[in-house]
């Protein structure tokens, strides 16, 4: 596996800060939430997988925001459903 460089990733995000935040969120999804990587694992850690996904334009700030909004809406729906059951 070739190294993932910051320059590879910066073509898909606006700046280094956004890159770090996006990669951290995606790595956390894989590590904590059990999300499946969208690239071949090749014995890489979640942070490297996240950077590879960003470099390959599989994860973008827009897709991450959409996932977060969907998760938030799902959590609200489940909370309302539980509240109505009581």
pLDDT over 80 (residue 86):
no
Phi-psi label, residue 40: left if phi above 0, alpha if psi -120 to 50, beta otherwise: beta
E strands along 1-86, which residues?
none
* 31 falls within a domain: yes
* 16 falls within a domain: yes
* 67 falls within a domain: yes
What is the reported pTM? 0.82
* 12 falls within a domain: yes
Look at residue 70 in the predicted model and tell me its pLDDT.
93
Range of the domain at 50: 6-85
| Per-residue pLDDT tens over the stretch 24-35 | 999 999 999 999
Question: CA 40, 43, 45, 47: dihedral to nearest 10 degrees?
Answer: -30
| Per-residue pLDDT tens over the stretch 51-61 | 999 999 999 99
* 1 falls within a domain: no
pLDDT over 90 (residue 2):
no
Provide the CATH number for the domain around residue 79. 3.90.940.10
- Total domains, the chain: 1
Look at residue 84 in the predicted model and tell me its pLDDT.
79
* 37 falls within a domain: yes
* Short-list 11, 58, 60, CA closest to 36: 58
């Amino acid at each position: 596996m070739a190294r993932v460089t910051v320059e590879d990733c910066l073509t898909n995000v606006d700046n280094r800060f956004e890159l770090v935040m996006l990669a951290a969120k995606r790595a956390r999804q894989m590590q904590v939430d059990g999300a499946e990587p969208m690239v071949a694992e090749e014995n890489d850690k979640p942070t490297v997988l996240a950077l590879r996904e960003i470099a390959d334009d599989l994860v973008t700030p827009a897709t991450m925001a959409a996932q977060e909004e969907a998760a938030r809406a799902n959590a609200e729906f489940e909370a309302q459903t539980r509240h109505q059951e009581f």
